[in-house]
Amino acid sequence: MLYLSTRGDPARKRFCDILLEGLAPDGGLYLPEHYPNITASLPQLRTIYQQQGYAELAFAILSLYIDDIPASDLRALTHNTYTKAVFGTDAITPVRELEKGLWLEGLSNGPTLAFKDMAMQLLGNLFEYELTRRGAELNILGATSGDTGSAAEYAMCGKQGVRVFMLSPHGRMSPFQQAQMFSLQDANIYNIAIEGVFDDCQDIVKAVSNDLTFKQQYKIGTVNSINWARLLAQVVYYFAGYFQATTTDSEQVSFTVPSGNFGNICAGHVARQMGLPIKQLVVATNENDVLDEFFKTGVYRPRSSANTLETSSPSMDISKASNFERFVFDLLGRDSAELKTLFATTLAEQGYFDLSADPRFIAQEERFGFVSGKSTHPDRLATIRAVWEQHQQEIDTHTADGVKVAREIHKPDAEPMLVLETALPIKFSATIVEALGREPQRPAQFDGIEALPKRVQVLPADVQQVKTLIEKATQVA
């Protein structure tokens, strides 16, 4: 399998090259040249999941996309990653029925209690494998509004050949998230709190990555959701969810996905393109509703960071959905010239693009299955309360956005609707207290985490100062 850039660079690359690279040199995102079709092997994949488990299913799906790691090594990587010891259950992503036809798929039982562990734990092992094989080093530069950062750091701490420079918006993460990240004392982990919002952090990462000389000299890589390997890891749990919620391969399901950067649901799009019987992919946003606006109107209008609201589902407080370009590429029939004009010219010149009159947009629901909805702070509170009162289950604020939108869209007699549970409530306890009048349950291993010593440096939203920090850190070692 070879990979191309959405923006038309003629180069074709193999998996392990784009693994370490992140953004393509032309500013585009990597995608496989085609999506392998699994329709004929769906029964086999179901048997693999049921009899050999999640790790073997992951191996089967990943090997369709990775041909530059020997099969025995790739199998060892997935089996070392997706264990009961790390993810809490044999199912790895267990589903439970909340009410008739509405299911939750638990993706947040990994070390940092958010779905990003699903991809990041694999990425940590892939990086260590490939860097060791090459005798190389990598400096990971990332931006986080909370969950990415801790998931990356818990996946990379102690790994050979890797340093992590993680930018987060100063003072905007929950106390629990800050404690999780900043309490890590490993020498290869650098926490950098930026005086700005998440998009400022993301802009700095993009600016540094676009400086090709610096990127090469300091071996800069990324773990943000634009990394194809992360997306690929996430494809697997759409299959695992499907196999748990259905009994035959002729059934359809739909997924509702609490969305920010469009990474999680983009993996659902890939699964659907491969032939997994997904009817609808429901994008659930919070008040930062650029994606809901697009799927309702055809207008994509990213916000400025000043217009990005700080909400109680902060991991979705995103104004530009960095993976969205991948879907638009497929929507346009993979016309990279057209794609490039939209993202590099139209957006830059007028601040939005409008596909409302484009027949490909008008036909998208039928072809790609996307619908959308929006949830607000009062919706989250009401949903968290209702789910507790009706089902005695605690859900986190992001999952609540998903459940709220899923309940609006799902009809009781329709195909099963799986809502992806993207975090556990303890990460966002202030809102749980507001909704339920008490603290959420806290897994024992996190007792007292807020009181641990913190390791973090505060910087203004300035590209040069971040570069200087990286230069110094890599010289010392």
Ligand X SMILES: *Cc1c(COP(=O)(O)O)cnc(C)c1O
The residues binding ligand X (CB under 6 A) are 114, 116, 147, 225, 258-264, 315-316, 398, 422-423
Question: One-letter amino acid identity for 281?
Answer: L
| Minimum CB distance to ligand X smaller for 48 or for 267 | 267
- Look-up: residue for tokens 């939750």? 104
Smallest gap from residue 395 Cβ to ligand X (A)? 11
The length of the chain in residues reads 477
**Dihedral sign computed on CA atoms, order 417, 423, 429, 430:** negative
Angle subtended by helix axes 377-391 and 429-436, to nearest 10? 70
CB of 224 to ligand X, least distance (A): 9
Whole-number Å distance between alpha carbons of 52 and 35 = 24
* Smallest separation (angstroms) from ligand X to the CB of 122: 15
Query: Closest Cα partner for 290 from 269, 265, 260, 267?
Result: 260
Question: For ligand X, which is the closer residue by CB, 121 or 336?
Answer: 121
Tokens 């697009």 belong to which residue? 294
Cβ-based nearer residue to ligand X, 196 or 425: 425
For residue 304, the SS3 value is coil
Taking the complex as a whole, how short is the minimal distance between the CB of residue 457 and ligand X, in angstroms?
23
Instruction: Give the shortest CB-230-to-ligand X separation in angstroms.
Output: 9
Residues 6+ apart with CB under 8 A from 39: 275
**C-alpha 372: how far from chain center:** 18
Q: Are the CB atoms for 209 and 23 separated by under 8 Å?
A: yes
Choosing from 13, 84, 100, 116, the catalytic residue is 116
Residue 132 tokens, joined = 């060791």
Q: Which is it for the CA torsion 86, 88, 91, 94, positive or negative?
A: negative
Q: Is 374 a catalytic residue?
A: no
CA-CA distance, 409 to 404, in Å (whole number)? Answer: 9
Nearer Cβ to ligand X (92/470)? 92
Nearer to ligand X, 191 or 286 (CB): 286
Active-site residues, by number, are 116
